[in-house]
Structure 1
Amino acid sequence: MPFLLLFSAGIVDAIGFIHLKNGLFVSFMSGNTTHVAMLLSSHQYGQSISYIGVILLFVSGITVGEMIAVLQKKNYRWLVMSAVSILLCSAIFIEKITVPMATNFVLAFAMGLQNIALRITISKAMPLTFATAFLANTGRELALLLLGQGDKQLFLKQLSLWLAIFIGAIVGSNLMAFSLNYALVVPVVLCLCITGLLFWLKDLTNDD
């Protein structure tokens, strides 16, 4: 499950990035934070608003997702992914009637929301697209392996989590060779499948 979620997030992030062609991510907030700092330092306040807006919407998505998780402990996983699916579908239609930035705002909110769904299989507070953490954990596990103290399965798991984002971004980039509308169909279908699976498994998962 976490690999599908990370794969989907990688696709959406690449789609959002290529959609605006200005270095704006919809789920990689470390990059956006750096861009905001650079823009503010060079007094490009107007352009920085877009980055700040995406960051705020991403955090808002996480906030809403956490509220759903607290209020609907048993059902929050599939409810969150249902909301993500609806938001991604709406982005397809919004793109036709408004400015490109509005689409990225919707995608950023959806990706923030989707972070909460990952709690089903990874530690409770693990961010969905924290690729740096997965790479850091990969390096840590590799060090232990080289010292004869590591676990090969843990090493491969951390590496695979990073690869899921990486491969998703490759797929998203290739999908944008078509149009944004067609590109978003793939993550929409993935999210719907994940939603169905989480609904089916809701009685088998823990309520934490």
Structure 2
Amino acid sequence: MSGVAGYVDAIGFLKLGGFFVSFMSGNSTRLGVALATSHWTAALTVIGLVAAFVAGVVLGALTARALGETRRSPVLVLEAVLLAAGAVLLALGHDRVGVAAVAMAMGAENAVFQRNGDVAVGLTYMTGALVKAGQRIAGAMVGGEPNDWWRYALLWTGLAAGGALGALSYLTIGAAALWFAVAIVLGGALWAERRYRAV
């Protein structure tokens, strides 16, 4: 799922000319720069993206709580619906609302692996994953588990590879590239539901 986040974020980045739909740390830095340099349009863009992302987090968290945190498919369906809404709105020329729906989808994605109301695995941000990879490598160097770092590195690799694919897709077919993400997320929802029912 981190690959989907990278894929969608690259599409948003190119569509928005340097703003992010899932990387809120980057947007926060952009906000600070925009405020310091009196670029009010950029500041409002970031504020809108952050608000949409947080709204998506709230929707995802409420969905997970209401339908069971171990059941991943409802959150994935929510994410797919928001991505599809964004794709349709962008195709119709409603860019602001379309991008907001996509940012909401990225916020909701973080509830896929929610435990006790908290994110267990962050899928749209990688600084924490890279820190954990580095900490696990350090632990391995002093006698700890030698292979405990690779899954965090894999999350980052997924995000970066997804970003490359998203950029290539956007440069080829524009925002319609979001439909590939919708299909992947719906496929993930079906897989997650089958696993849930098999337990």
- CA distance in 2 between counterparts of 1:92 and 1:110 reads 11
Residue 11 of structure 1 contacts residue 172 of structure 1 at CA under 8 Å; is this kept in 2?
yes
**Residues 118-152 of structure 1, C-alpha deviation per residue, up to 9 Å, x if partnerless?**
338xx8444322210111111111112223x2323
2:156 counterpart of 1:162: yes
Q: Distance in 2 between matches of 1:162 and 1:75?
A: 24
Deviations 1:50-69 (A, max 9, x none): 11011011111111111112
1:189 aligns with 2:178: no
CA contact (8 A) 2:53 2:103 kept: yes
How much is the aligned-residue C-alpha RMSD, in angstroms? 1.9
Q: Residue 152 of structure 1 aligns with which residue? A: 146
Structure 2: gaps spanning 5 or more residues: none
Whether the aligned pair in 2 keeps the contact of 1:17 and 1:26 (CA below 8 Å) is: yes
Partners of 2:48 and 2:162 in 1: how far apart? 24
- Describe how 1:16-31 pairs up with structure 2 within 5 A: 16-21=12-17, 23-31=18-26
Q: In structure 2, which of residues 5, 8, 22 is the aligned counterpart of residue 9 of structure 1? A: 5
- Say if 1:92 and 1:180, in contact at 8 Å, map to a contact too: no
Structure 2 Cα separation of the partners of residues 157 and 33 of structure 1: 27
Residues 90 and 155 from structure 1, CA distance in 2 versus in 1: closer, same or farther, beyond 3 angstroms? same
| Distance verdict in 2 for CA 1:74–1:28, change over 3 Å | closer
Q: Distance in 2 between matches of 1:132 and 1:188?
A: 25
Contact 2:80 / 2:182 at 8 angstroms: preserved in 1?
A: yes
Gap regions ≥5 residues in structure 1: none
**Could you tell me which residue of structure 1 aligns to residue 131 of structure 2?**
136
Residue 54 of structure 1 is matched in structure 2 by 49
Query: Deviation digits for residues 87-111 of structure 1, max 9, x if unmatched?
Result: 2122221112234333221110000
**Runs of 4 or more consecutive aligned structure 1 residues displaced over 6 Å after TM superposition:** none
CA distance in 2, matches of 1:160, 1:126: 12
Alignment of 1:102-121 (within 5 A): 102-119=97-114
Write the distance in 2 (CA, Å) between the matches of 1:190 and 1:153: 29
- Confirm or deny: 8 A CA contact 1:20 1:100 kept in the other structure: no
Counterpart contact for 2:75–2:108, Cα < 8 Å: yes
Structure 1 SS opposite 2:197:
coil
Identical counterparts, % of pairs: 26
Task: Report if the CA contact (8 A) 1:19-1:100 is conserved.
Answer: no
What SS does the aligned partner of 1:129 have? coil
Letter of the structure 2 residue corresponding to residue 51 of structure 1 = V
